[in-house]
Structure 1
Amino acid sequence: MDIRAMIESVVQEVVQSMKLEKEKENFGKVLFVFCDSSAHEPFADQFIKLKNSKIGYDILFLDGETSSWLGMQRVESTGSERVIATDEYSPAAIELAKDYDGIIIPEIDLDNAARVAAGLKGTIKAEIIFSAIMLQKFVLVGGDSPGIKRSDRRCLNTLSLPAPYQKRFYSYIEQMTELGIEFFPQMDLSEAVIQKFTKKLEDVQSACESDLRENDHALENKAIFKKKLLTHDWIESQAHFPNNSIYLSKGVIISPLAKDLLKEKKLTVRFIEKG
């Protein structure tokens, strides 16, 4: 085996393991989908907020239109966060949403909005949004998008859609909202993501607390013996055994007469951690 190939293989394994360890430290992870390789620059401060909130993120650059700098290869960063640039070697768009808790689309155009609203695929953004909705992942979109692609703005030297197209674009936005897609100003997207994960954590904590309360309440209604020796007399003194069961702490001694009475009354002995 070539020594260079072996070193590359080892380094890739180490980097991958480091990425996995880093992901475990995060509360979750989102994917940002940008139009091109420079569109992410205004979001640098938002990425810092996400890192400080222990929310992981990856970046997808839709630079199929700029294959001059991509060449014919898939590009991934070697930094702390993964960066994907699309071409024919990149992951299938419909598969991407599976690895994330949510998808962030800072800017959407008339064409993609029409496809999403109609449930159509055919573009990378439309397929990612389609798969995210199917997998019940949250989708956040920049609410101040002009509706015209960055490349089209540069080519046509215009910053906004004409009135008839604007009306159509806003109708698509309403239909996307009905699908569960949420719209926020581009510079507030990170805050919206943080709120999503904060609510998720609060829901989990609330569910755990509710389970604990239910368990405590259930234990209160059970026949629990808390002494060291279970006797015949104690069993006889109990008026009722819920579910025909008696709950003992581990290590409790059952007297011979108590064992006979348990069989006679057909009571089930269950051991619990709680004494």
Structure 2
Amino acid sequence: MEIKPMIESIVRELVQAMQAEQMKKPKVLYLFCDSTAHEAFTDHFILLKNSGICYDLLFLDGETSAWLGLHKIESSGPGKIIAADEYAPAPLELPLEYDGIVIPEIDVDNAARAAQGLKGTVKAEILFSALVLNKFVLIGDDIPGLKRADRRTLKTLTLPKPYVKLFERYKRELAALGAEFAPQKLLAEAVVRKCGAAQRQTGNDASAKGSSLPEAASAHAGAANGRAAAAGSAVFEGKLLTAEWVKRQTDTAPDVRKLILSKGTIVSPLAADLLKEKDVTVQYADKG
């Protein structure tokens, strides 16, 4: 193989591997009442990182504003939209970039707004958007229903019984809309479980598509050459043969000993090594 095609194939394979790695990593957004509330969740973030799950932290700076990194995000007011800066997304846009939303603590006010489809606060707007987009929403279950700021101001930790009943009703309504509740200390495990289920579903869909592609390619190649691919052989019609494709093919069909390629197909060095290791010979379709 000449130097230029070899370098081109290596670069393409590296880019494809990087893209696949980025695509398969899920990402969640954690919403916290203030910039210190996340400190108790350090173990959660370690578990998410070890599980290959990316996460961002959003710190509420009041009811109608929050900070995501260096961007100040403002909720929409009655009849107007407050823009913090030209790069900051609106709360409604945030769930578009994430697989799920995690809210360790919700209060009766935001629970009521979200349950009734109302906006006006950052948390309520994000909840509304995530549920509409069918993103998973995980909320801490063992929570008092009072904001951290309200607990500090009112010097109390719990709601009175009538408010507790009201809060429980709003939680049931949120659950009916698709939100899920879990103990705060188990939220990270719930995120891993939800992301794992989504990845398995994606993998099953990809496998179903992948299993049909070789058959279609074989039929097409057979028609073009006046014959079908014989038993123990496989057909590849792409422009670049990667090691990932070879591994997937040999894993699903270990009896393959011949690989038929289209004219001009580039075989990456890693793919060539793997073919040699698997004792698979390469034959180009135009050479008979």
Which bracket does the TM-score occupy, shorter chain normalised?
0.5 to 0.7
For the Cα contact (< 8 Å) 1:58–1:83, is it kept in 2?
no
| Identity across the alignment (%) | 47
CA contact (8 A) 2:61 2:67 kept: no
Q: Is the 8 A contact 1:60 1:86 kept in 2?
A: no
Contact 1:34 1:62 in 2 (8 A): yes
Structure with greater contact order relative to length (CA < 8 Å, sep ≥ 6): 2
RMSD: 3.6
CA distance in 1 between partners of 2:214 and 2:186 (Å): 42
Distance change (3 Å), C-alpha of 1:155 and 1:206: same
Residue identity opposite 1:97 in structure 2: P
Deviation track 1:55-110 (CA, whole Å, cap 9, x = no partner) reads 11111111237x9xxxxxx866xxxxx47665662542222212211111100001
Using the alignment, how far apart are the partners of 1:40 and 1:116 within structure 2?
Answer: 22
**1:5 equivalent in structure 2:** none
Name 2:115's counterpart in structure 1: 117
For 2:205 and 2:142, locate their aligned partners in 1 and report how far apart those are by CA, in whole Å.
36
Deviation at residue 136 of structure 1 after TM alignment: 1.9
Letter in 1 for 2:135: K
Using the size of structure 1 for normalisation, the TM-score is: 0.64
- Deviation per CA, 1:184-212, whole angstroms, max 9, x where unpaired? 11111111111111111211222222234
1:40 is paired with a residue whose SS is: helix
1:55 corresponds to which of 53, 56, 66? 53
CA distance in 2, matches of 1:157, 1:85: 29
CA distance in 2, matches of 1:86, 1:214: 45
1:29 equivalent among 27, 30, 41: 27
Partner in structure 2 of residue 174 of structure 1:
172
2:158 aligned to which of 150, 157, 160: 160
Residue of structure 1 equivalent to 2:137: 139
Q: Which position in structure 2 is the counterpart of 1:185?
A: 183
Q: Tell me the equivalent position of 1:268.
A: none
Change (3 A) 1:218 1:121: same
Q: Equivalents in 1 of 2:186, 2:70: separation in Å?
A: 22
Preserved contact between residue 142 and residue 183 of structure 2 (Cα < 8 Å): yes
Change (3 A) 1:83 1:189: farther
> Helix, strand or coil for the counterpart of 2:143?
coil
Q: Contact 1:59/1:84 (CA < 8 Å) preserved in 2? A: no
The alpha-carbon deviation at position 224 of structure 1 amounts to 7.8
Aligned to 1:98: 96
Give the alignment of 1:1-275 within 5 angstroms: 24=22, 27-64=25-62, 82=69, 89=84, 91-215=89-213, 225=222, 230=226, 250=262
Give the corresponding residue for 1:4: none
Q: Which runs of 5+ in 2 are unaligned?
A: 1-17, 75-82, 229-259, 264-284
Assess if the C-alpha contact under 8 Å between 1:108 and 1:142 holds in 2. Answer: yes
SS of structure 2 residue aligned to 1:113: helix
Distance 2:143 2:225 in 1: 73
Ranges in structure 1 where 5+ consecutive residues have no aligned partner: 1-19, 68-73, 77-81, 235-247, 252-271
Instruction: Call closer, same or farther: CA 1:212–1:154 in 2, change over 3 Å.
Output: same
Amino acid at match of 2:26: G
Q: Distance in 2 between matches of 1:83 and 1:49?
A: 25
Q: CA deviation at 1:213?
A: 3.9
In structure 2, C-alpha distance between the alignment counterparts of 1:25 and 1:145, rounded to whole Å: 34
Equivalent AA in structure 2 for residue 29 of structure 1: K
Amino acid at match of 1:162: P
Quote how far apart the aligned CAs of 1:116 are: 0.8
Q: What is the Cα deviation at residue 37 of structure 1? A: 1.1
Change in CA separation of 1:181 and 1:199 when aligned onto 2, cut-off 3 Å: same
Q: What is the CA distance between 1:24 and its match in structure 2?
A: 2.9
Paired AA for residue 59 in structure 1 = L
Counterpart-to-counterpart distance in 1, 2:203 and 2:117: 35
**CA 1:213/1:162 → structure 2, altered by over 3 Å: closer, same or farther?**
same
